């Protein structure tokens, strides 16, 4: 699997959110870069722990933004965040029990983040925000 490289196709059009997504990408790249030399168990634990802490912060920021813009699909979007958190928790548990498949972990994280960022984030709240008029959400558009 190739390295996970950020490009504009992932941009939601809001710099603060793009930066947070880039940080998530960087965490996943650690799985690739160090996956060969480090113990996979140790690495999986580190990445899952980091990710678990950071997604709580990131999802909260995203949900606050969507609430601020009165995004209609907020609840649905929050549900997908919660499902992801549950999945990460499940994999953390598997890792602690010695049952985690490293390739499955890598693929799950990559697939989920790419689909989520390009779909629900970029084409969801990102597109909705871009189509807003400056007079309806001036403070949000100023951040762009």
Which positions touch Fe ion (CB under 5 A)?
62, 121
Task: Answer for the pair 132, 23: CB distance below 8 angstroms, yes or no.
Answer: no
Residue 121 and residue 77: Cα distance in Å, rounded? 9
Q: How far is the CB of 81 from Fe ion (least distance, A)?
A: 6
Q: How far is the CB of 74 from Fe ion (least distance, A)?
A: 10
Name which of 43 and 55 has its Cβ closer to Fe ion: 55
Q: How far is the CB of 124 from Fe ion (least distance, A)?
A: 8
For the chain, what is the radius of gyration of the CA atoms? 16
Q: How far is the CB of 116 from Fe ion (least distance, A)?
A: 6
Name which of 44 and 66 has its Cβ closer to Fe ion: 66
- Judged by DSSP in three states, 142 sits in helix
Name which of 38 and 140 has its Cβ closer to Fe ion: 140
Count of Cβ atoms closer than 10 Å to residue 79 Cβ: 11
Name which of 18 and 62 has its Cβ closer to Fe ion: 62
For 133, phi then psi, to 5°, come to -85, 150
């Amino acid at each position: 699997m190739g390295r996970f490289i950020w490009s504009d196709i992932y941009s939601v059009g809001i710099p603060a959110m793009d930066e947070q997504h880039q940080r998530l990408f960087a965490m996943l790249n650690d799985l690739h870069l160090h996956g060969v030399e480090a113990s996979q168990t140790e690495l999986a634990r580190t990445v899952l722990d980091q990710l678990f802490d950071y997604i709580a912060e990131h999802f909260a920021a995203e949900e606050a933004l969507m609430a601020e813009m009165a995004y209609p699909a907020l609840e649905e979007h929050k549900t997908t965040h919660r499902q992801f958190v549950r999945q990460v928790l499940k994999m953390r548990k598997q890792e602690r029990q010695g049952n985690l498949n490293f390739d499955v972990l890598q693929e799950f994280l990559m697939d989920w983040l790419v689909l989520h960022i390009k779909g629900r984030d970029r084409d969801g709240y990102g597109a909705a925000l871009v189509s807003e008029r400056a007079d309806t959400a001036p403070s949000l558009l100023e951040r762009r």
